Structures are given as structure tokens and as C-alpha cells.
């Protein structure tokens, strides 16, 4: 999964993103401070929202893959709350909690070739929550599938 | 300003961010597709929100600088709407439209050493709007100033 991210989304390589956990129920990504630093010597907010976006996207990607749903996955909107400055290497975690939402999403996708899902992710530093992310993703059936 | 961004926020260098316009009323940044591409061969959403964040941050930074307000500037929250996929080099623009809001911000900062401002930015490709960003920034008086 880490190779997939680095070769398909080069920004993840520039940020030094590492995949710590990647299952269809939980994704945990980490990134070092150095390539993501800002002028206050803390994590640049932009890097925070990128890591959270990648965690959520990866989780949905893995789940689509597991269930062999051939979808193009795009982000429609996102919001990010920056709760505290992050002074070192950091993580983003996204967990899949709502199996009912997934069944609804899957049904919509199979019926209409299009479905939307909202995912939440959190930024972590030294096991504390430092920021929270909400993203709406849309899965579109691939042409010809 | 471009040197300042690249040396203080290395992610802006990795993204190839260029400063096209940087005045206290308008900031226009551009970035090439290649380092910001995704697996659909369009701009990765994370790169879009980063470029918009940088445009808004730079505008507020320049305005604080112009008025010699010695502030630490941090982002508190942001939201991004991805309206259309972007198939090439792209831009983010932030304009300062509301002088009344600025006077209120300045007064708050001088009185309380802390003030918040909401800024909007847009992603552009071939002169069309492709996404919109809203960010809340907080200026804090520097310790000792």
C-alpha cells in the first residue's frame, strides 16, 4: 500500500508517508516532522490535512478492493479542525465504525453506479488527538465495468 | 515570498509552488501537475487544499507585515469543496475584499493580543473555478512584543 501511495501520489513520497496499519477496518499512516515542518517548527497544517485525507482515502480504497467493487474514488469536500500544534513526527488514523453505512453505500453503488460516504480521521501525536478531519468521498463505477 | 515559503515550509518546494502575485490585497500561487498528480492523472485533492491554504496564509502574512503587526499566525480550521477534477497546472487565489473585517481584526489584535479572520480562496485551472476553500486563521501576539 505504501508503494502504491508513493508511486501514484508523489506528494505522499515527498512527505515521507509510511503505512503503519492498512486493513479494511483501520488505516494508520505516519509522517516525519522534517519534510512537513513550518516556520513555527511544528507540523504545517497543509501536511496535516493531506495525511488525514490519505488515511480516509486508503481505508475506502482497501474496502472497495476487498469487496471487488471497481470504482473511481474521488473526494468531494473535506473539513479539518486544527486543535493543537504538533511538535514532532505525527500520525493520521481512520477507523471504519459504521457497517450499516457501508451496506447502504454498497447498495447505492450497485444500484446507481454512484455512492457517497463520509469518513472521519484524526491526527495523533504522542498518542494524543491533535486534529480532526471529515471527508465526503464519492465512488463512481468505472466506465465499461 | 517564494523563497520564504520554500525555505520555511518545505512541502511548498516539493509541490513546486510559485508565487505569481503577492500583495496585501491579492495572492495568486501556482503549482505544476507533475509533483501533485494522483492515480487519476489529475491534481491530488490534498495538493489543492495545501495550495489554497498557502494562498490565504500568505495574504494574511503580507497584510500583518505591511501594518507591522508582530503576530504568530496559525490556522484553526479549514474546509474545501472539490468542484471539478483538475487536469493540469493549477492556481490558488485569495483576495482581500472586506476592509471592515480587517479593521475589526486589527482592533481585536491590538486590544487582546489575539484575533481571528476567515479567508476564502479558490482553485483555478484554465481560468475556471475548480474548488473553493474557507479557512479560519488566528493571529497571536508574539511573546515579548
pTM of the model: 0.95
Q: What is the DSSP letter of A36?
A: G
B60: left (phi over 0), alpha (psi -120 to 50) or beta: alpha
Question: Looking at residue B143, what is its pLDDT?
Answer: 63
Mean pLDDT of B93-121: 94
Give chain B positions within 8 Å (CB) of A11. Answer: 11, 14-15, 35-36, 44, 46-47
Cα–Cα dist A130/A114, whole Å: 33
CA distances from A8 to A39, A86, B35, B76, B131 (A): 29, 27, 10, 30, 22
pLDDT exceeds cutoff 90 at A84: yes
Q: B10 vs A79: CB contact, 8 Å cut-off?
A: no
Does A126 lie at the interface with B, CB-CB under 8 angstroms? no
Give chain A positions within 8 Å (CB) of B33. Answer: none
Q: Is B132 exposed, middle or buried (0-12, 13-18, 19+ CB in 10 A)?
A: middle
What percent of chain B stands above pLDDT 70?
98
Mean pLDDT of A101-121: 95
Average pLDDT, chain B: 94
Give chain B positions within 8 Å (CB) of A85. Answer: 74
Q: A10 vs B37: CB contact, 8 Å cut-off?
A: yes
Mean pLDDT of A87-104: 94
pLDDT exceeds cutoff 80 at B36: yes
Question: Looking at residue A142, what is its pLDDT?
Answer: 82
Nearest to B75 among A34, A45, A74 (CB): A45
Q: B49 vs A54: CB contact, 8 Å cut-off?
A: no
Q: A15 vs B11: CB contact, 8 Å cut-off?
A: yes
Nearest to A37 among B10, B82, B85 (CB): B10
For B39, name the nearest residue in chain A, comparing CA atoms only: A8
Can you name the CATH fold of A2-141? Thiol Ester Dehydrase; Chain A (3.10.129)
- pLDDT tens digits for range B58-71: 999 999 999 999 99
Residue B54: which pLDDT band, with cuts at 50, 70 and 90?
very high
For A72, name the nearest residue in chain B, comparing CA atoms only: B40
Mean pLDDT of A80-105: 95
Structure-block grid coordinates of residue A9: 501520489
| Strand pairing class (B71-82; B128-141) | antiparallel
Q: B11 vs A8: CB contact, 8 Å cut-off?
A: no
Give chain B positions within 8 Å (CB) of A46. Answer: 9, 11, 49-50, 53-54
Q: Is A7 exposed, middle or buried (0-12, 13-18, 19+ CB in 10 A)?
A: exposed
The 3-class secondary structure across chain B, one letter per residue, is CHHHHHHHCHHHHHCCCEEEEECCCEEEEEECCHHHECCCCCECHHHHHHHHHHHHHHHHHHHHHHCCCCEEEEEEEEEEEECCCCCCCEEEEEECCCHHHHHHHHHHHHHHCEEEEEEEEEEEECCEEEEEEEEEEEEEECCCC
Q: What ipTM score was computed for the predicted complex, to two decimals?
A: 0.94
Does B123 lie at the interface with A, CB-CB under 8 angstroms? no
What percent of chain A stands above pLDDT 90?
90
Question: Looking at residue A143, what is its pLDDT?
Answer: 62
pLDDT exceeds cutoff 70 at A144: no
pLDDT exceeds cutoff 80 at A103: yes
Question: Looking at residue A145, what is its pLDDT?
Answer: 43
Cα–Cα dist B10/B4, whole Å: 10
Question: Looking at residue B145, what is its pLDDT?
Answer: 43
pLDDT exceeds cutoff 80 at B144: no
Amino acid at each position: 500500500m505504501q508503494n502504491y501511495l508513493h508511486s501514484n501520489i508523489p506528494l505522499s513520497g515527498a512527505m515521507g508517508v509510511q503505512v503503519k496499519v492498512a486493513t479494511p477496518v483501520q488505516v494508520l499512516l505516519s509522517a516525519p516532522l522534517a519534510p512537513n515542518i513550518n516556520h513555527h517548527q511544528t507540523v504545517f497544517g497543509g501536511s496535516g490535512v493531506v495525511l488525514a485525507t490519505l488515511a480516509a482515502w486508503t481505508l475506502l480504497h482497501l474496502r472497495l478492493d476487498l469487496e471487488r467493487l471497481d470504482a473511481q474514488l474521488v473526494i468531494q469536500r473535506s473539513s479539518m479542525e486544527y486543535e493543537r500544534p504538533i511538535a514532532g513526527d505525527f500520525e493520521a488514523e481512520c477507523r471504519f465504525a459504521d457497517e450499516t453505512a457501508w451496506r447502504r453505500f454498497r447498495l447505492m453503488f450497485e444500484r446507481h453506479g454512484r455512492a457517497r460516504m463520509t469518513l472521519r480521521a484524526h491526527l495523533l501525536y504522542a498518542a494524543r488527538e491533535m486534529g480532526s478531519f471529515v471527508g465526503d468521498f464519492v465512488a463512481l463505477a468505472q466506465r465499461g465495468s
